[in-house]
Structure 1
Amino acid sequence: MQTDEQNRRPSALVRHRLSLIAAAAILAYAAFVHYVWGWGSIVVEWQAIGYGTVAAVIGLLVSTYFVRAWRLYDYFPRETSGRFVELFHLAQVHNLLNIMLPFRSGETSFPLLMRSEFSVPLLHGTSALLVMRLLDLHALLAAGGLGLVLASEAKLLPVVVWLAFLVAPIPAFLLKGPVLAALRPRLRGKLARILDGIVDGLPVDLAALLRAWLATVINWGAKVLVFAWALGLMGVTPLSATFGGALGGELSSVLPFHAPAGVGTYSAGIVAGAVSLGAPTGRAAMDTLARASINMHLMIILSALTGTALSLGLNELRRLRAGR
């Protein structure tokens, strides 16, 4: 006969729902990659690049996922305190769904998962996600702007404009108080509650915004450097084009025009970014660039799969230690 405590305990399916989603996503993605490219052809391509190089790139990319998880951990301190492994697991599932689903529809999984796993209200989670995506886009545009500044002949005006853009999140955040003070008296009932929910998802103070911004810069800075290094090893030249390709690919991943798994759009972003910053357009050079862009995209996919599998293993170890 079951006790009241056993009756109140969630079923195994509910307790392991996130792990089941992660496992299903990994299997679906592995099958998708095999269908589109074939794992055999991927192995041949990566043998030419060097397995050590591929492993290093994937390992460095996976390490940036911990930075992204820490940004969430710091952003939701009350809800996630002492639960970093669970949050890392959630972040990897969200990342994989975001890459897999078209038109950024995977983003909707974040507030839903945060509500399910950490009891974060939907508006709070959605508002926080919007802030983080704006910081992501700002960091990428700032990195791209730096490339334009370095390539320009007249330096003073471009540098001033770039610096103004770089610090733009600070005055934008400081305007929050006056804007809310003007809005609140005009709203009543449900609209006022919606506004409160949105505000609840914004950084609590300037220090919190700066920590989130710093984590964003470290994350994207590391990713762009790794991508540029990998593209250079795959024959993309000159150096400016490798950074252009890295930025182009990542910009395609944060903008709404995103095919399922980024097929076509991610590689096109790499090619467009590389050419815009000096990659030669001869036939041989474009063939090299096209092949490198596809391989880079595959490394992104495999790093997402690896990160999700790692988070799944860490989360199950945590469960075992907790006796759940």
Structure 2
Amino acid sequence: MGTPRYARYCGLALLLLVLVGVQCAIGWAELLQPWLTIPPLTLLLAALLTLGSYALRALRLYDYFLPHTRGGFTACLKLTLLHNVFNNLLPMRTGEVSFPVLMARYFATSLTRSVAAMVCFRVMDLSALGILALTCVGAHSRNGWLLALLAVIGLAQPWLLFRIQSSAWLLELGRSLPQRWRQRLAPARDGLPRTATAYCRAWLWTLVNWLVKLAVFAVILQLFAPMPLAAAFVGAIGGDLTSVLPVHGIAGVGTYEAGVVAGLLPFGVPAKAALAAAVNLHLFMLGMSLGSGAFALLLRHDLTASELIDTRG
């Protein structure tokens, strides 16, 4: 999928603006110097935990498509790592296109089914980020009623999603579509969980994955600027949320930093320190994405899509 010309120009402009702006506001040498003071074991642990969050995301994919994915966890991991690289590097969510393409290649999954599953994943991801962000704000402000409300919403999330999916009005809407559209969209139901229990499992993997990833990213932010843990979590969430913007810089440069800074400033973190921490977190995230993507190219899964079809009838 080609990127519109205006988006490429905006992305390049943001990249140049960040490069020049950081040099003028902080200086790249000063910004990068703290990396030399971080113990190597701390960075190694952060990298391993981040890889662990990628593995949890692959486990969600594996569990979600069972029994179609049985015996293919390595393929799920490879797919997840490559999809992550494309999402982080390509603008305007064009990296999402890689998911149905890779699902078709590794598991012979139809386009409609994989897109429906991807939409379900994104709804869970966004709701998890929202709940975690509000939880951090509630904990920081000692707002007990907000925390209790969020706990109820979090526990009810799988049931709510299942009820919406199986609601009468949604089924009636499907019947009102022209016959050709009903035939095209019919496989989409196969891309959604059939029971509330299946939603619960997917929701559990989603929460655990984000908790691990955001905990690592929060600690990385704290390594570069003093801030409360709640602020670090909200800043990390702000950076991830910018990936849904229609226009952002090359590899998210500019918009990612803006999201992190926007999450840190309300907690009283100085703008200069927030910017330095945001840039360094982005460097860590991009380094992990590229490194895990290179690792994915070395992975060899045992069964191809055609073999999977042959062995499963």
What TM-score does the superposition give when structure 1 sets the normalisation length?
Answer: 0.77
Give the distance between the partners of 1:288 and 1:185, measured in 2 at CA.
55
Alignment check: 8 A CA contact 1:236 1:292 kept: no
In structure 2, do the counterparts of structure 1 residues 266 and 192 end up closer, same or farther at CA, with 3 Å as the change threshold? Answer: same
Q: Which runs of 4+ in 1 moved over 4 A?
A: 40-45, 254-257
1:113: how far off? 1.6
User: What does residue 287 of structure 2 align with?
Assistant: 302
Tell me what 1:291 maps to.
276
CA distance in 2, matches of 1:256, 1:52: 38
Q: Which residue of 2 is the match for residue 75 of structure 1?
A: 64
Question: What letter is aligned with 2:70?
Answer: S
- Aligned residue pairs total 276
Whether the 8 Å CA contact 1:243–1:274 is kept in 2: the answer is no
Counterpart position of 1:195 = 185
Give the Cα separation in 2 of the matches to 1:256 and 1:216. Answer: 24
Question: Could you say if the C-alpha distance between residues 43 and 58 of structure 1 is closer, same or farther in structure 2, counting changes exceeding 3 Å?
Answer: farther
Equivalents in 2 of 1:124, 1:246: separation in Å? 31
Partner of 2:201: 211
The match for 1:145 is 134
Map Cα deviations across residues 234-257 of structure 1 (whole Å, 9 max, x no partner): 223133321221221122234545
Partner residue, 2:7? none
Give yes or no for contact 1:271–1:293 (8 Å, CA) kept in 2. Answer: yes
TM-score where L is the length of structure 2: 0.80
Is the 8 Å Cα contact of residues 58 and 300 (structure 1) preserved in structure 2?
no
Residue 97 (structure 2) aligned to one of 104, 108, 111 = 108
SS state of the match for residue 37, structure 2? helix
Contact 2:34–2:224 (CA under 8 A) maintained in structure 1:
no
Please name the residue that 2:237 is paired with: 247
Which of 256, 263, 285 does residue 266 from structure 1 map onto? 256
Letter in 1 for 2:201: R
CA contact (8 A) 1:71 1:212 kept: yes
**Of residues 309, 312, 315 in structure 1, which corresponds to 2:297?**
312
Name the structure 2 match of 1:236: 226
Match of 1:267, as an amino acid? E
Q: Provide Cα deviations, 1:123-159, integer angstroms capped at 9, x if missing partner.
A: 1010100000110001100001112222446533x24
Q: Is the Cα–Cα contact under 8 Å of residues 67 and 215 in structure 1 kept in the other structure?
A: yes
- Compute the displacement of 1:186 (Å): 2.1
Kindly provide the amino acid, as one letter, of the partner of residue 175 in structure 1.
I
Task: Report the alpha carbon displacement of residue 71 of structure 1 after superposing the two structures with TM.
Answer: 0.6
Paired residues for 1:116-155 under 5 Å = 116-152=105-141, 155=144
Matching residue within 171, 175, 182 for 1:185? 175
Could you list the per-position Cα deviations for residues 211-267 of structure 1 after superposition, in whole angstroms to 9, with x for gaps in the alignment? 110000000011111111221122231333212212211222345454321111111
Q: Distance in 2 between matches of 1:254 and 1:55?
A: 29
Instruction: Give the Å deviation of 1:275.
Output: 1.3
Q: Evaluate the alpha carbon distance shift between residue 255 and residue 206 of structure 1 in structure 2; reply closer, same or farther with a 3 A threshold.
A: farther
Q: Provide closer, same or farther for how the CA distance between residues 256 and 54 of structure 1 changes in structure 2, counting only shifts above 3 A.
A: farther
Task: Give the number of the structure with larger relative contact order, counting CA–CA contacts within 8 Å between residues 6 or more apart.
Answer: 2
**2:161, 2:199 within 8 Å by CA — same for their partners in 1?**
no
* Residue segments in structure 1 that go unaligned for 5+ positions in a row: 1-31, 320-324
Q: Which has the larger radius of gyration?
A: 1
Q: What CA RMSD, in Å, does the superposition of the two structures yield over aligned residues? A: 2.5
Unpaired stretches in structure 2, ≥5 consecutive residues? 1-14, 23-27, 304-313
